[in-house]
């Protein structure tokens, strides 16, 4: 048995919407629980309709069947989502009904683990709308696989699968704590990458059972897959949208500048070593690739006197930031690994200091992906977090990178900068609500 029990890192805020959804689901289950022990009137038309449904797969005497039906079964039948008779109200009510305590507990555990991160990115109201939309999409996913069926589907798992889909796309570096229990041989907690855990949920808990069983059984794999797919699609669309990643951006003053509080003291990268201040730029025709990133220096010659790593080092030491950037962006991906990560970090910090945010972000991102284990990868994460926080107004993504840098930090300076950025991220998110 393998059960997820938590994840990390967790956002620095209170996920009111997630807690509210958990509370509503639990309260509805408790309120309806007495109906599970109440009998029904065989003469009730809804009971007869329900018995006809049961007789399809369980033929026999109705007098025997009626003894197995409770008042709660009728509530589920009336307000669950039946592909053969879908109603709009059922799309909403079905996601707040559950078939039993184990069904409820499993769904709420997943919502508690994964909901806070997605809510942190979307905001409280945005998360609620996303949750309901994912639940509706999951119902249609179930209907596609069980078209015309009168067997109702209930549960929050479709909507929660949408949350899992967004989590899968937005938090690839998070870790999930799993309780592995195979008594008496294995009893321990392990941490696994979030994408591995959620990928296993899609493949082993849904796709394979669906292919093997053809959709029969007591689990609505169509709802799970439909909700997950909807979450991935919406998360991807929000990530590409202006402002990015589905979060509300911090308000700006009338002149377009960020408000003085809480980000009045804009985090800046370390100053370059003495003698490496940028020299005046030469206004020559730029190449199309790096002109789009705001450069105006001379395009590097294809016949360089030195190897790329030496040429980049030479230009940086000479303070030729434009030439160094042009050289960096002209190199094919296969040659970037030959560069010194220290030189690449210096280039990114220089571009950030010169307010060329897009170019600096591109260099920081390439540094982290190419030299993941290098010492320079930690300040590169911090640099990217600064840009996401201030230049791109994405505090939730900035918080994610800053928390990752804090966890990996090897020096006191990196740890202090990570803590400072985390505080600013929390302030920025608070100001946006």
Residue 161's pLDDT is 96
Domains of the chain, with CATH numbers? 2-240 (1.20.1540.10), 260-432 (1.25.40.10)
Looking from the CA of 114 toward its CB, the CA atoms found within 13 Å total 30
Residue 50's pLDDT is 77
Q: Which residues of the chain have pLDDT under 70?
A: 54-64, 214-217, 240-306, 429-433
Residue 252's pLDDT is 34
């Amino acid at each position: 048995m393998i059960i997820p029990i938590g994840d990390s890192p967790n956002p620095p805020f209170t996920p009111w919407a997630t807690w509210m959804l958990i509370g509503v689901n639990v309260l509805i289950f408790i309120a309806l629980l007495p109906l599970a022990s109440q009998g029904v009137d065989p003469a009730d038309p809804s009971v007869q309709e329900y018995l006809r449904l049961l007789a399809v797969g369980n033929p026999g005497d109705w007098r025997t069947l009626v003894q197995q039906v409770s008042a709660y079964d009728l509530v589920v039948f009336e307000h669950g989502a039946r592909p053969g008779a879908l109603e709009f109200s059922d799309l909403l009510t079905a996601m707040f009904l559950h078939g039993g305590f184990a069904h409820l507990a499993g769904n709420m555990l997943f919502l508690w683990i994964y909901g806070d991160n997605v809510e942190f990115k979307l905001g409280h109201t945005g998360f609620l709308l996303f949750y309901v939309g994912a639940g509706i999409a999951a119902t249609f996913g179930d209907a596609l696989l069980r078209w015309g069926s009168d067997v109702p589907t209930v549960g929050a798992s479709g909507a929660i699968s949408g949350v899992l889909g967004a989590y899968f796309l937005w938090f690839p570096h998070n870790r999930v704590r799993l309780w592995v229990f195979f008594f008496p041989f294995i009893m321990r907690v392990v941490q696994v990458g979030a994408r591995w855990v959620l990928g296993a949920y899609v493949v082993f808990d849904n796709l394979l059972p669906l292919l093997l069983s053809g959709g029969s059984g007591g689990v609505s794999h169509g709802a799970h897959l439909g909700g997950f797919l909807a979450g991935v699609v919406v998360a991807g669309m929000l990530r590409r949208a202006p402002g990015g990643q589905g979060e509300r951006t911090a308000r700006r003053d009338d002149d377009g500048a960020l408000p003085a509080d809480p980000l009045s003291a804009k985090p800046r990268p370390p100053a370059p070593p003495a003698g490496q201040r940028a020299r005046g730029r030469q206004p020559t025709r730029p190449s199309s690739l790096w002109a789009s990133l705001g450069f105006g220096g001379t395009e590097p010659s294809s016949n360089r006197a030195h190897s790329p790593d030496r040429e980049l080092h030479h230009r940086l030491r000479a303070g030729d930031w434009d030439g160094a950037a042009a050289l960096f962006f002209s190199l094919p991906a296969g040659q970037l690994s030959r560069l010194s990560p220290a030189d690449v970090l210096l280039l990114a910090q220089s571009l950030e200091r010169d307010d060329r945010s897009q170019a600096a972000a591109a260099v920081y991102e390439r540094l982290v992906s190419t030299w993941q284990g290098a010492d320079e990868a930690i300040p590169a994460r911090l640099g990217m977090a600064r840009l996401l926080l201030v230049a791109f107004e994405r505090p939730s993504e900035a918080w994610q990178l800053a928390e990752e840098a804090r966890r990996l930090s090897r020096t006191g300076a990196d740890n202090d900068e990570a803590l400072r950025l985390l505080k600013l991220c929390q302030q920025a998110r608070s100001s946006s609500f």
